[in-house]
Structures are given as structure tokens and as C-alpha cells.
Amino acid sequence: MRLPSLLFLALLIAFPSVAQSPSQQPQTPSIQISVNRVNVGVIVTDAQGNFVPDLRSENFHIFDDGVEQPITDFANVVAPAEVLLLVEAGPAVYFLASTHVQTSHSFLDGLATGDRIAVAKYDAAPQLMLDFTSNKPAAYDALANVHYYVGFGNLNLSKSLNAVLDWLAKTQGKKTIVLLSTGFDTSQPAEIDAMLSRLKISDVRLLAISLSGAMRAPPQPVKVKKKNKKDKANDEEETQKAATKAAFAQQGFDEADRLLRALTDATGGRVFFPNNAQDYSSIYGQIAQLIRHEYSLAFTPPAHDGKVHNIEVRVTPPGSTTSSAQSAAPSAPTYNVAARRAYVAPAP
């Protein structure tokens, strides 16, 4: 009596019923979502440096490696900003500290309630003085407590920026670095090149203020009545030496300016060159406006090759009949368009 039952059980195990067959069970569809979108923040300013409002999607044209792409998302964004103020603490700005710290009131006063600011200084390496906060008095105190050393030392600007980008990678939102620097950089050439490449594909905008304006004015020569030919010859020799030193210094300033322009341009930012306290106040006011306002655009990457693609953004003024591939008409407004320069396409 038990043998048939055991045999029946064995048959059930060896040959499952049709209802239990996996091939005939209802299949739960496998849903895979792949969102491939390149976000591009664009700042458009007029000839006076003021943000241009009220532009529409049709005024913008995005090019991926020279080929125009359809804009899939568009928004005129006014949003809280995350701003890291990075200050050079080397000997070159020792005597300028009071100027740019005092005028930074214009920048801090221009921040909105939701904006957050962090303060860091750098010489051989960066040092965080104040983590992100919306407390403006705390930010001013942090700036006032930045100590500047006198003497010789390293100013590793590119190396310090690389570390700051690592810090900001953990921060969400609209991120901006406001750099107060002479632009002199003792980083290795390879570090500078790597920094430029990283900035091009980052989601951080870099705005820079050159601190070297007050250092560029050459000292006025003191006119002294010469008594004899020997004194005149000595004076001419000293004048020649001074001219040589001035030319050498100017070469250094030119290199520093080029680096600041290259670093900011890579992120779609800009560099300012103030000469006095009034210039600082005006510039800080512009920056406070720029860090909160931008046009947010997006497009679908045309290729999945894992490579770096160049981005170009053009703006056609409202009412202009000029095509995106042509220059604007002479009567059209002059716009300065700032946007990131590149992105890394998704892998195949």
C-alpha cells in the first residue's frame, strides 16, 4: 500500500506539474531606467556685467563637439548657492589683507538668506577656516582671522584647487569657488594641466579676483639734480636695473593673469582685476548676483563613448532673426555667455 504512494511522490518530484513550470509562469517585466542627460548651467551678462533675465529656451543653442543638440530641459533658476571663498595667504598679499577683507562686506551683504558660504586659505596647501554656513558674521570673522605669512614659500594654486574640488564633491547644489589670488602658482606643470582638464568637466564654477593690481604700479623715480658725470652714469645704471626688474615682474604678472583666465574660463566663470577698494566693492556686488542666477539647460548626449566632449553655448538675442550658427546683428545686444566647457559622455 505504501509503495504506490512513494512512487507517486517520486514522480511528482521528478516531473513537476505543468502549473509549476517556470516557462509558463507569469513573468514580471524587468524595468531598466537609464537617464542620460548633460546639465549645463549658463550665466548670461550684459556689457556692464549684469545678469540678463527673461531669456527663453529658443534663445539658447548648445553644441556638442560642434554639432547642435536639441535642448531637452530649460529653466531660469534663482536658487541658493554654495560658495567657497578661497584666499591666497602668501607674502604677496600680506599688505593687501585689510583691503579685500574690508570690502568683502559687499560680497557677504549681497548673499541671500539661503546662501551658504565656506572660507578657506591656501599657500602650499589649502586649509579650511570655516565650513559651509549661512552665518554671515561667522564668515567675516573667518576672513579677518586668515593669517598671511611674510617671506618666501610655495603657492600651490592648482594643487590646492584640486583638493578643494575633492571637498566640494560631497556638497550638493549650485557650487561656486570665489578665488582671491595673485595667480602665481608654484605647482608642477603636470598638476596645472591636470587641474585645467578637471575643471572643464566639473560641476563647479570658478570666479576669481586678482589681488595683484596694487602691486603693478612701478615706483616713481625721484628726480635729483646731478653734480657730475659719474653720478649721472650711476643713475643711468640704476635706472636700467630697475627697468629690467620691472620687465621681469611684468612677465610674471602676465603669466599669472593667463592662468587665472584659463582656470576660470574652463568652468564658464570669469576673472576680475580690481585696482582699488571701490573696484572691489563693485565686483563683490556682481559676484553676489551671479552666484544665485543662472539658466539651467540640459541635452541628451549624442554618443556613449566614455570620451570627453567639448560644449559650446551660444545665445541669440530676443527678436533677432540671426541663426544660431551666425554672428548676431550689429544692432543686437552684446552678451557674455559663461558655461562649462566639456563633459564626459556615458560609457558604451
Where are the chain's structural domains?
38-77+295-344, 80-219+260-290
- More confident position, 178 or 7: 178
Banded model confidence at residue 165, pLDDT cuts 50, 70, 90: very high
Top CATH class of 80-219+260-290 equals: alpha beta
pTM for the predicted model, two decimal places: 0.72
Give tens-digit pLDDT for 217-276: 554 554 555 556 666 666 665 655 555 555 545 677 889 999 999 999 999 888 999 887
CA angle 85, 87, 92 (to 5 degrees): 160
Choose among 294, 221, 285, 216: nearest CA to 250.
Answer: 216
Average pLDDT of the chain to the nearest whole number: 77
Residue 16: the pLDDT is 42
Q: For residues 181 and 128, give the distance between their C-alpha atoms in angstroms, rounded to a whole number.
A: 16
Asked if 77 and 297 touch (Cβ cutoff 8 Å), the reply is no
What percentage of the chain exceeds 70 in pLDDT?
Answer: 69
Give tens-digit pLDDT for 96-121: 555 656 666 767 877 888 889 999 99
Q: For residues 25 and 320, give the distance between their C-alpha atoms in angstroms, rounded to a whole number.
A: 62
Residue 158: the pLDDT is 94
Give tens-digit pLDDT for 2-54: 444 433 333 333 434 434 443 444 454 443 334 588 999 898 988 877 888 88
Q: For residues 197 and 250, give the distance between their C-alpha atoms in angstroms, rounded to a whole number.
A: 27
- More confident position, 1 or 256: 256
